[in-house]
Structure 1
Amino acid sequence: MTDNTTLDELAAQESTLVFDRFDDDTAWAVGVALRDEASAAGLPVAISIRRNGQRLFHAALPGASADNDGWLERKSAVVDRYGHSSLYVGEEFRAAGKTFEDSSRLDPSRYAAHGGAFPVIVRDVGCVGTIAVSGLPQREDHRLVVETLTTFLGRHDA
């Protein structure tokens, strides 16, 4: 993903990476897939998967810190509020010549429109949760989630 990723490309990811169902076992399997991918690459990330506000999976790899947990919460709060990936929301503000921090009127200690949180979208239901990564530059956090979901959904009857 390049720095010039368009809103259309980000929206296409969201419309493509859709689950048929998302239960506790699915959350665990996605979390393990993300952790395995990050661990194999030696990435210092924290991972969180939530459904309806309940954390179903959390992992912190070597090099991640408690600060990453705060970022996970703030990015996930953006997805919960807007129903789009945290990168999409940040890009939407930037495309309008604004910053999320100045224009959203939301508390920056609770919301961060930085890449890395992605909506858990269930077919015929909508957004039911978040899959989030923190520890890398925002586009790399986003890419890790998208690439892992692409592989996961291609392998599983999700």
Structure 2
Amino acid sequence: MSELEELEQQERELVFGRFTNADAWRLGCLLVELAGELPVAIDIRRGTQQLFHAGLEGSTADNDAWIARKVRVVERYGASSFLVGRRLAAKGQQLDAGMGVDPADYAAHGGAFPIRVRDVGVVGVVTVSGLPQADDHALVIKALRAIPRD
């Protein structure tokens, strides 16, 4: 399976039956636990409401800025920031003014993943920032696979 196929499979697989504030709390706490001593910031939001945020030791306000940029990618394209970035890279493209976005506001780098509810669609975003992009993405996927989604 190619990298793009694997990322697309994750989008199909990691779907919730519902997503409540309590689900956001459990997912956020699990991400904090899985991150351990990694210098990351973690953010979970449903719509425009931030439901969970943690800045672990070693993370900075810059991570929060990256979170905002990655979240905008998921909200605009309805797919993980990593998948959007890898699709563009496969075409030799970048997320920039040529695509109608300002790179200062959007980052197609791994770490933001759509919170998708079955029969509803994307309702939110879970994001990790602070590691190399593939590692940010992998940490989110590990948590989503470990948490009940029904």
- Is TM (by shorter chain) over 0.5? yes
Q: Counterpart in 1 of 2:142? A: 147
Structure 2 counterpart SS, 1:100: coil
Q: How many residues align?
A: 150
Q: Counterpart in 1 of 2:87? A: 92
More moved, 99-108 vs 24-33: 99-108
1:13 matched to 2:6? The reply is no
Q: Give the distance between the partners of 1:133 and 1:104, measured in 2 at CA.
A: 25
Match for residue 28 of structure 1 among 22, 25, 30: 25
1:130 matched to 2:125? The reply is yes
Match for residue 37 of structure 1 among 16, 27, 34: 34
Q: Which runs of 5+ in 1 are unaligned?
A: none
Q: Give the distance between the partners of 2:2 and 2:102, measured in 1 at CA.
A: 26
For residues 63-102 of structure 1, the aligned pairs below 5 Å read: 63-101=58-96
Quote how far apart the aligned CAs of 1:101 are.
Answer: 2.9
Aligned-residue Cα RMSD (Å) equals: 1.4
Structure 1 counterpart SS, 2:96: helix
Structure 1 counterpart SS, 2:126: strand
Quote how far apart the aligned CAs of 1:102 are.
Answer: 5.5
Change (3 A) 1:116 1:10: same
For residues 44-59 of structure 1, the aligned pairs below 5 Å read: 44-59=39-54
Q: Give the distance between the partners of 1:52 and 1:150, measured in 2 at CA.
A: 22
TM-score, structure 1 normalization: 0.91
Provide, for residues 16-53 of structure 1, a one-character-per-residue CA deviation record: whole Å limited to 9, x for no partner. Answer: 011000010001110000011102xx110000000011
Q: Give the distance between the partners of 1:122 and 1:146, measured in 2 at CA.
A: 16
AA at the equivalent of 1:95:
A
Quote how far apart the aligned CAs of 1:5 are.
Answer: 5.5
Quote how far apart the aligned CAs of 1:59 are.
Answer: 0.2
Quote how far apart the aligned CAs of 1:149 are.
Answer: 0.6
Q: Give the distance between the partners of 2:109 and 2:96, measured in 1 at CA.
A: 10
AA at the equivalent of 2:99:
S
Quote how far apart the aligned CAs of 1:151 are.
Answer: 1.0
Provide, for residues 77-123 of structure 1, a one-character-per-residue CA deviation record: whole Å limited to 9, x for no partner. Answer: 00000000000001111111112236423011111000000000001
TM-score, structure 2 normalization: 0.95
